[in-house]
Amino acid sequence: MRLSYPTNVKVVKVPCTGRVDVLMVLKALESGVDGVYLAGCEIGDCHFLKGNLRAVKRIAYAKELLKEVGIEPERVEMYHIATSDGPRFAQVAKEMTEKIRALGPNPVKDKNKAFKA
């Protein structure tokens, strides 16, 4: 199955979405990326039992923090995609890219001189 997905999506591999900490998400945005989404396993399918459930809560918390900062919380999202579901992976990548494109670039990247260099 050869599927294509938007080239702007950079994949960061983690052993489980349960490994993802709120700070990782914030740091990514700080570094100027326009959005972050987690592609976790389906609910109930976590190899480590509760990793993806924890990730759901952490993404919800990250959204709260972004709201506090005044950055669109929609820049951060949680998706559940079965490991075998390639088409869904490609579809989510497209969906998220379109969503972020509609929001425009990360306001931090826009304003921070460091990113303009």
Partner 1 sequence: MIVGNRKPLEEILEMVKPYKKILLLGCNECITVCAAGGEREVGVLASELKLSRAKNGGEIEIKEHTLERQCDFEYIDQIKPFVDDYEAIVSMACGAGIQYTAERFPGKVVLPAINTTFLGVTLEQGVWSERCQGCGECILHLTGGICPVARCAKSLFNGPCGGSSNGKCEVNPDTPCAWQLIVDRLKELGQLENYEKIIEVKNWSTSRDGGPRTRVREDLRIPKDS
- Nearest approach in angstroms of CB 8 to partner 1 is 21
Q: Give the nearer residue to partner 1 in terms of CB position, either 90 or 108.
A: 108
* Calpha distance 91→69 (Å, rounded): 30
107 binds partner 1 (CB under 8 A): yes
Which single residue is written with the structure tokens 């702007």?
Answer: 8
* Calpha distance 72→10 (Å, rounded): 20
Q: Of residues 70, 84, 116, 117, which one binds partner 1 by CB under 8 A? A: 70
Q: Give the nearer residue to partner 1 in terms of CB position, either 66 or 78.
A: 66
Three-state secondary structure of 19-75: HCCHHHHHHHHHCCCCCEEEEECCCCCCCCCCHHHHHHHHHHHHHHHHHHHCCCHHH
Q: Of residues 3, 8, 27, 87, which one binds partner 1 by CB under 8 A? A: 27
108 binds partner 1 (CB under 8 A): yes
Q: Give the nearer residue to partner 1 in terms of CB position, either 8 or 112.
A: 112
Q: H or E stretch including 115?
A: helix 113-116
Q: Give the nearer residue to partner 1 in terms of CB position, either 103 or 108.
A: 108
Q: H or E stretch including 12?
A: none
**Residues of this chain that bind partner 1 (CB under 8 A):** 21-23, 26-27, 29-30, 65-66, 68-71, 107-108, 111-112
